[in-house]
Copies of this chain bind each other. A is one copy, B any other.
Amino acid sequence: MPWNAIETPYLRVDQPRFDNNIQRLNCHLNALNTPLRPHVKTVKSLPAVKAIFNGGTGPITVSTLKEADFFAQHGFDDQIYAVGIAENKLPHVKRLIEQGIDLKIILESETQACNVVEFCRLHDVVIPTLVEVDCDGSRAGLTPDSQALMAVSQLLADAQLFKGVLLHAGGSYGCSTRAEKVAAAENERATAVRVKDQLAGVDIACPIVSIGSTPTAHFAQDLSGVTEVRAGVYVFFDLVMANINVCSLDDIALSVVTTVIGVKPEKGWILIDAGWMALSRDRGTAHQAIDYGYGMVLDAAGRPLDGWVVESTSQEHGIIKHRAGLTDIPSDIQVGDQLRILPNHACATASQFDKYYVSNAEDELIDEWPRFNYWT
């Protein structure tokens, strides 16, 4: 099928960039002797995840039990479900474990730990559990050195459910300089190791010490003491990551292809058939170095239209304007032309679609990768 037979909007993956992104992080972590447990929440697609493992399988991180189910069916039997567990999901977790999946859950409170211990006792199942540790105050987890962290870990260890600790340096998304990212990575590692040592002090072994975020995974200089690193968005990268210098614009492997459905020279507007339903409502670049609106505009060949961004969106319409208020629309942009939009946040944009159209280096359409969404 030729590209122009595909109805717009659609999602395009540039496979050479995708492959390069995978290889770059693999090399970096190989050099640091630490395995990667990729977060499949970004791609939610079997061929994409298989590409990460060079055609095979390996340990993965999931953000929903639907991901767990799907990848379990395809041979990925070592998983961490990296969202604090809710009791209503325990029967689902049990089903996966009884299918032979080594699915680890995470939690951060005595209430959750008691629920899990009690559920396992009642149902005669072992749910391996990690305690979530907060290394930078950005989201979830118990603080290191806290009494609660030790108490929750002990509760799980007594029931032989404790399997380790999990940290996520979410604060690293605010680090634009190299030094800041290196420091965030070292803080994530050092916090994890400190907690592991505290637990060792009370005879609780920590077989899994899992850390990671895309910025810290790429800028870690030392990973001694941790057993694995997690990252997700690095396979596609996006404008948020480019703005904090984790990647360059030329590394971004994902774009939304759209058609120009109106041109308003008097206003400097280009109207496209990609609105928030295609681009997502993500405005992650709003407070970064460069605000790309709802995405940066490229022409059909992938060349940047310098300064032009998707300034506003409704459900199936986008309005492209110039960031600096120029109203001279590039003269070669006409109704019917196709454009590509680079995403602010690849996880959010990809989640608006159920498939990827894949391009090789010669700009040929070589594959279609199905993806899924939702929770159950």
Binds B, one of A4-12, A175-183, A220-228, A242-250: A4-12
Greatest chain B CB density within 10 A among A9, A83, A376 is at: A83
Is A281 close to B, CB under 8 A?
yes
- Which residues of B lie under 8 Å from residue A375 when comparing CB positions? 7, 9-10, 278
Question: Nearest CB to that of A139 among chain B residues?
Answer: B317
How far is the CB of A352 from the nearest CB of chain B, in Å? 8
Tell me the bound Cα distance from A115 to B334 in angstroms.
13
Is A328 close to B, CB under 8 A?
no
Is A367 close to B, CB under 8 A?
no
Tell me the bound Cα distance from A267 to B197 in angstroms.
27
Greatest chain B CB density within 10 A among A267, A335, A351 is at: A335
Is A364 close to B, CB under 8 A?
no
Is A96 close to B, CB under 8 A?
no
- A245-287 residues with Cβ-Cβ distance < 8 A to B are 259, 261-263, 267, 271, 273, 276-278, 280-283
Contacts A111-B335, A139-B317, A315-B347 known; A84 to B262 CB distance under 8 Å? yes
Contacts A261-B84, A347-B315, A375-B9 known; A271 to B139 CB distance under 8 Å? yes
Is A88 close to B, CB under 8 A?
yes
A85 pairs with B261, CB closer than 8 A: yes
Is A108 close to B, CB under 8 A?
yes
Tell me the bound Cα distance from A87 to B170 in angstroms.
43
| Total residues of chain A contacting the partner, CB 8 A | 61
- A44-87 residues with Cβ-Cβ distance < 8 A to B are 63-65, 83-87
Contacts A111-B336, A115-B336, A354-B374 known; A88 to B6 CB distance under 8 Å? yes
- Which residues of B lie under 8 Å from residue A4 when comparing CB positions? 88
Tell me the bound Cα distance from A7 to B83 in angstroms.
13
Is A327 close to B, CB under 8 A?
no
Give me the interface of A with B, judged by CB distance under 8 Å: 4-10, 41, 63-65, 83-89, 92, 107-109, 111-112, 115, 137, 139-140, 170, 259, 261-263, 267, 271, 273, 276-278, 280-283, 314-317, 319, 334-336, 347-348, 351-354, 373-376
Beyond A8-B86, A41-B316, A84-B317, list 13 extra A-B contacts (CB 8 Å). A7-B65, A7-B92, A7-B375, A7-B376, A8-B88, A83-B261, A86-B261, A86-B336, A87-B259, A108-B261, A170-B314, A283-B283, A315-B347
